[in-house]
Structure 1
Amino acid sequence: MTSNQPDALTEAGAKPAITPAIPPHLRRLVLTGFMGAGKSTIGRTLASRLGWTFLDLDTHLEHRTGATIPQLFERHGEAHFRRLESTALASALGRSNTVLALGGGTPEGLTNRLLLEQTPATFTIFLDAPFPVLFDRCMMQGLARPVLADPDAAQLRFATRHPLYLRLAHLTVDTSALTQDETVDFLITALNKAPHSRL
């Protein structure tokens, strides 16, 4: 929890936390990027710093359908899953004061891209890093990610999605050399400094 007193004493040599002051007309921040980018962990920290709500789109979709993402793929196939995902995204974008973490494949759908581009007061942030860095992060997390079972196919998927992430982003951050806290500090600083007319 951050202090409400901006001049609170910090430990010797410690950098004081950056006071969030994002443009007041923004109602939601959307984090996009490939798996391993840190969308959920960074999103939670960013939302906490802002005093906003964090929402993971995959979790939101699972709650709406009563099924896990793998179950939805298995039962209905990817095409139906993507339609459910678009409906969940529209629902999520109706919320205010929310940091929303997208699934890695969400930007592939045209409907989803249009929703993100045309929803007012929405600012999209691309958490970028080279594929080898993202792959290593996923391996270090020790989570079962079937998509990464074939690294060459995963890299091709990354290459296909990367231009879409870039196209949607109002802000792109290379996280390859940043810790999660450093990334959040960078985002808050960038939002503080950004001209309101360009957001």
Structure 2
Amino acid sequence: MKIVLVGYMGSGKTTIGKLLAKKLKISFLDLDEVIEERLEDSISDIFNGKGEIFFRKKEHEYLNDVLTQKNNFILSTGGGTPCYSGNMDTMLELADYVFYLKISIPGLVKRLILEKEQRPLIKNIDDGDLPEFIGKHLFERNNFYLKANHIIECDNKDPKALVDEIKGLLA
């Protein structure tokens, strides 16, 4: 079984992915970690040193590698992964399930404000400007996210409840 989690940064893809993998007794992969391991560099250094186009090409290549070479895993993607290089169509074609972990803008702001230092994309954005930034980004990405097989509403639900909800949707 191949399960892919998509959603905006801070939506809980890694947290839910790890818990779900443990419950299903299958491996967990984080696409960003796969990229960092293969390129022996951090995502932010790759972006800063080689640029976004290089990063997106490698992201597409490694996504295809993971989806075609491995079996029985949960894959957490980067927030932008579904939006480039036909990646969402690739995920829908090669994975058994694609889940969109959907959270409201206020919910994302509440989570991300606490993690700004670790998030290069929003590190330098004033707290007051964060809702508008996230809203604009979500508007641009939503058409990709909404192609997922299942949309999981995540606001005001604890991780265990979300894992149980996702598990209930697996055939």
Flag whether TM exceeds 0.5 (same fold).
yes
Instruction: State which of 101, 105, 113 in structure 2 corresponds to 1:139.
Output: 113
**Aligned pairs for 1:49-64 within 5 A:** 49-64=23-38
Q: How does 1:54-133 map to 2 (within 5 A)?
A: 54-93=28-67, 94-119=69-94, 121-133=95-107
Instruction: Using the TM superposition, give the Cα deviation of residue 143 of structure 1 relative to its aligned residue in structure 2, in angstroms.
Output: 4.4
Q: Which amino acid aligns with 2:12?
A: G
- Runs of 4 or more, structure 1, over 6 Å off, are none
Deviation string, structure 1 residues 112-165 (Cα, Å, up to 9, x no partner): 12321221x521000001111012112234643232225223321121112210
- 2:166 matched residue in structure 1: 187
| Structure 2 equivalent of residue 160 of structure 1 | 140
Q: Which runs of 5+ in 1 are unaligned?
A: 1-26, 193-199
Q: Is the 8 A contact 1:125 1:170 kept in 2?
A: yes
Count of aligned pairs between the two proteins? 164
Deviation by residue 1:144-196 (Cα, 9 ceiling, x = unmatched) = 323222522332112111221011x111110002100110011111225xxxx
Letter in 2 for 1:88: Y
Aligned-partner Cα distance in 1 for 2:41–2:2: 26
Is the 1:28–1:97 contact (alpha carbons within 8 Å) kept by the matching residues of 2?
yes
Taking the aligned partners of 2:143 and 2:89, their CA distance within structure 1 comes to 15
Local SS of the residue matching 1:140: coil
Of 101-110 and 145-154, the range deviating more from structure 2: 145-154
Q: Higher Cα Rg: structure 1 or 2?
A: 1
Computed over aligned residues only, the root mean square deviation of the Cα atoms, in angstroms, reads 1.5
TM-score by length of 2: 0.90
Percent identity, aligned pairs only, is 32
For structure 2, the 5+ residue unaligned runs are none
| Paired AA for residue 89 in structure 2 | L
3-state SS in 2 of match to 1:136: helix
In structure 1, what residue type is equivalent to 2:138? F
**Contact kept? 1:147, 1:154, Cα under 8 Å:** no
